[in-house]
Amino acid sequence: MGARHIELGLSNEQVVEMYRIMYLARKVDERQWLLNRAGKLPFVISCQGQEAAQVGAAFALVKGKDYLCPYYRDAGVVLAMGMTARDQMLAAFAKAEDPNSGGRQMPGHFGSRKHNIMTQSSPTGTQIPHAVGFALAAKIEKKDFVSFVTLGEGTSNQGDFHEGLNFAGVHKLPVICMVENNKYAISVPLKKQLACESVADRAAAYGIPGITVDGNDPLEVYRVVKEARVRAITGHGPTLIEAVTYRLVPHSSDDDDRTYRSREEVETAKQKDPITLFRKYLLENGAINEEELTAIEERVIAEVDEATEYAERAPYPDPESTLKHVYA
């Protein structure tokens, strides 16, 4: 019996690369928390626990062709689509060289024309109609790219979620909407967010498929996103995917999650840390051996060290640049 990834058409190298990116996302994140607690970074917003869903999904898209509207937790997605650890750290330190916004936005507000990542804002959900707009462009220009938008389950309650998906459903637009259901919208648990059982239930309202998937399994997420992409480019319209995961850390460095959930719950979730699980998968399925894997991990740490140093030394934007780029 072939390993699951082989059956999905992924090579060993590809899944190892998947892992590397997941691991990179995690390590960058951990480093940022450290710097925050050390008083060097004012704000951190995390992806820990959701890397599998993000990287798995990203691998199903076509780099440089598909358009992305990620949300603030999607470090895994953007790293998979070509952004680097250095980019992340430059954004964290808000330096001039930050490719997302030149230090103008808080970290997590991804954007890079080069990588087809649409610039993001803070009001949640506004990116969904944007993604639909990109999909509309694909239809108008008769091109075979898709747009991929992610959000949290809390945001799936925003009007723009409904309006965007409805528009896309009516016009059969090639958009893939993935909700990363990590069970909490800051402190508000799922039970207080959704009147229905799962986010995927809502798909029916838009005449589109709604699929719930184990967000901790990158291969599963890869599978469903891949299928959604095929549907999209063959004119079958949008898909709503609900990747069920868990947020292992507080919402952001300004949040204290001890006020709304127990340590036991978090510990239990850590047992299912997707990185640990996937590491195990790789070794068990002979995709790589321990020595090589450790070496990769060490290189990742070195990359994070280099990125941190670089970003710390990089210059801030010129204060007067505040006035630029209001209009063309």
Partner 1 sequence: MAVISYIDAVTLAIREEMERDPRVFVVGEDVGVRGGVFRATNGLIEKFGEERVIDAPLAESAIVGVSIGAAAYGLRPIAEIQFADFIMPAVNQIVSEAAKIRYRSNNDWHCPLVIRAPYGGGVHGALYHSQSVEKMFAGTPGLKIVAPSTPYDVKGLLTAAIRDEDPVLFFEHKRLYRLIKGEVPETDYTIPIGKAEVKREGTDITVISYGLTLHFALQAAEALAEEGISAHILDLRTLYPLDKEAIIEAAVKTGKVLIIHEDNKEGGIGAEVSAIIAENCLFDLDAPIKRLCGPDVPAMPYSPPLEKFFMLNPEKVTNAMRELALF
Interface positions with partner 1 (CB under 8 A): 67, 69, 98-102, 104-105, 109, 111-113, 118-119, 121-123, 126, 128-137, 139-141, 147, 159-160, 162-164, 166-167, 170-171, 324-328
Q: Which helix (H) or strand (E) holds 112?
A: none
24 vs 91, beta carbon nearer partner 1: 91
Known active-site residue 206: no
Nearest to 177 by CA among 142, 218, 134, 141: 134
Closest distance to partner 1 from the beta carbon of 262 (Å)? 36
Known active-site residue 260: yes
Cβ atoms of 5 and 15 closer than 8 Å: yes
What does the alpha-carbon distance between residue 312 and residue 34 come to, in Å, rounded to a whole number?
14
Nearest to 57 by CA among 245, 234, 205: 245
Closest distance to partner 1 from the beta carbon of 114 (Å)? 8
Cβ atoms of 107 and 43 closer than 8 Å: yes
**Cα-flanking dihedrals φ and ψ of residue 241, to 5°?**
-115, 130
Closest distance to partner 1 from the beta carbon of 175 (Å)? 9
**Exposure of 12 by Cβ count < 10 A (0-12 exposed, 13-18 middle, 19+ buried)?**
middle
Which residues have CB under 8 Å from 204's CB, separation 6+? 210
98 vs 273, beta carbon nearer partner 1: 98
The label of the residue with tokens 């036991």 reads 264
133 vs 237, beta carbon nearer partner 1: 133
Closest distance to partner 1 from the beta carbon of 95 (Å)? 12
In the chain the first and final C-alpha atoms are separated, in Å, by: 58
Q: Which of 260, 261, 299, 327 is catalytic?
A: 260
Closest distance to partner 1 from the beta carbon of 289 (Å)? 42
19 vs 206, beta carbon nearer partner 1: 206
Nearest to 75 by CA among 17, 42, 27: 27
131 vs 282, beta carbon nearer partner 1: 131
Q: Which of 206, 251, 279, 281 is catalytic?
A: 251
Chain centroid, CA 91 distance in Å? 16
Known active-site residue 247: yes
Q: Which of 247, 281, 313, 316 is catalytic?
A: 247
Amino acid at 156: S
Would you name the residues annotated as active-site residues? Answer: 247, 251, 260
